[in-house]
């Protein structure tokens, strides 16, 4: 199994990469800046027997995406999974965030998915899966989350259109949406102890009796990639233990 994960050296992206890091699998993980974290992630992948590949590229730059995907095409002739997990975390209210920051947030979090799928389309065929990532902020106005939540809503819509276009090829496109989970990105969005408070409050309020863990999300991703999920198309699959249905 061959997988490409943008934003794959930390958090949910890394956990997914490690899940699929089995002997002889090619695992491509993209990142933009943190070389130390990337090397640590690569080592973890290789220790599990997979063939790991680091792809340093700003997915908000179409030319860099093109080069990144060219590298992937040179290494494998098939991809089973593209998971667009890259996100640009920008805090603030809608009108306070500079337009340049908005444009980068949308480019990295959403529009990059178009570039990646288009460039890697020759590697996708029947049984391949494209996944985007979302959260509550796509449908609810979470304070200071506008430049993350709005692009996620865009991603959810984009995936529906991609699903219709890719389904005749036997390729699936869906979105995995997560409740509050302890990742670097979550802590970057809610600094100064706020992240810990939110995680504790979410765990206490969750009808499933505990907080969400990254492994809960990865287990659902595993299902979405499996043949058993072949008729799931264009859907947002929320993993939150029932927290947001109350």
Average pLDDT over residues 112-134: 98
Return the closest-CA partner of residue 14 out of 164, 137, 163, 183.
Answer: 183
Banded model confidence at residue 188, pLDDT cuts 50, 70, 90: confident
Return the closest-CA partner of residue 86 out of 124, 64, 57.
Answer: 57
Return the closest-CA partner of residue 57 out of 73, 81, 74, 33.
Answer: 33
Banded model confidence at residue 185, pLDDT cuts 50, 70, 90: confident
CATH superfamily of 2-181+213-240: NAD(P)-binding Rossmann-like Domain (3.40.50.720)
| CA distance linking residue 84 with residue 116, whole number of Å | 8
CB atoms within 10 A of CB 46: 13
Banded model confidence at residue 213, pLDDT cuts 50, 70, 90: very high
Average pLDDT over residues 159-169: 98
Average pLDDT over residues 163-183: 96
pLDDT at position 11 is 95
| CA distance linking residue 196 with residue 135, whole number of Å | 18
Could you give the percent of the chain with pLDDT greater than 90?
Answer: 92
Pairing status of strand 2-6 against strand 129-135 = unpaired
Domain limits, the chain? 2-181+213-240
| CA distance linking residue 195 with residue 191, whole number of Å | 6
pLDDT tens digits along 89-106: 899 999 999 999 999 999
| CA distance linking residue 71 with residue 63, whole number of Å | 13
DSSP letters for 20-75: T--TT-EEEEEESS-HHHHHHHHHHHHHTT-EEEEEE--TTSHHHHHHHHHHHHHH
Average pLDDT over residues 204-231: 96
Phi-psi region of 231 (alpha: psi -120 to 50; beta: other; left: phi over 0): alpha
Q: Is the distance from CB of 143 to CB of 186 less than 8 angstroms?
A: no
pLDDT tens digits along 5-16: 999 999 999 999
Pairing status of strand 2-6 against strand 81-84 = parallel
| 76 vs 182: which has the higher pLDDT | 76
Average pLDDT over residues 41-68: 98
pTM above 0.75, yes or no: yes
What average pLDDT does the structure give for the chain? 96
b (16+ CB within 10 A) / e for 203-228: beebeeeebbebebbbebbeebbeee
Q: Is the distance from CB of 218 to CB of 239 less than 8 angstroms?
A: no
């Amino acid at each position: 199994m061959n997988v490409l994960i943008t934003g794959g050296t930390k958090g949910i992206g890394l956990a997914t990469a490690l899940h699929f890091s089995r002997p002889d699998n090619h695992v491509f993980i993209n990142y933009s800046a943190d070389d130390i974290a990337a090397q640590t992630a690569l080592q973890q992948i290789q220790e599990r027997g997979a063939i790991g590949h680091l792809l340093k590229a700003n997915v908000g730059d179409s030319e860099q995406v093109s080069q990144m995907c060219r590298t992937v095409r040179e290494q494998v002739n098939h991809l089973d999974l593209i998971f667009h997990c890259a996100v640009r975390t920008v805090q603030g209210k809608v009108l306070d965030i500079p337009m340049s920051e908005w444009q980068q947030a949308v480019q990295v979090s959403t529009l990059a998915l178009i570039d990646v799928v288009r460039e890697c389309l020759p590697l996708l065929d029947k049984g391949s899966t494209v996944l985007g990532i979302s959260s509550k902020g796509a449908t609810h106005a979470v304070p200071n989350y506008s430049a993350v939540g709005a692009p996620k809503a865009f991603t959810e819509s984009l995936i529906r259109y991609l699903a219709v276009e890719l389904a005749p090829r036997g390729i699936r496109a869906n979105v995995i949406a997560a409740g509050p989970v302890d990742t670097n990105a979550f802590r970057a969005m809610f600094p100064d102890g706020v992240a810990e408070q939110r995680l504790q409050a979410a765990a206490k309020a969750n009808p499933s009796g505990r907080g969400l863990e990254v492994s809960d999300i990865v287990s659902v991703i595993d299902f979405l990639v499996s043949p058993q999920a072949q008729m799931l198309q264009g859907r947002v699959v929320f993993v939150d233990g029932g927290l947001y249905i109350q």
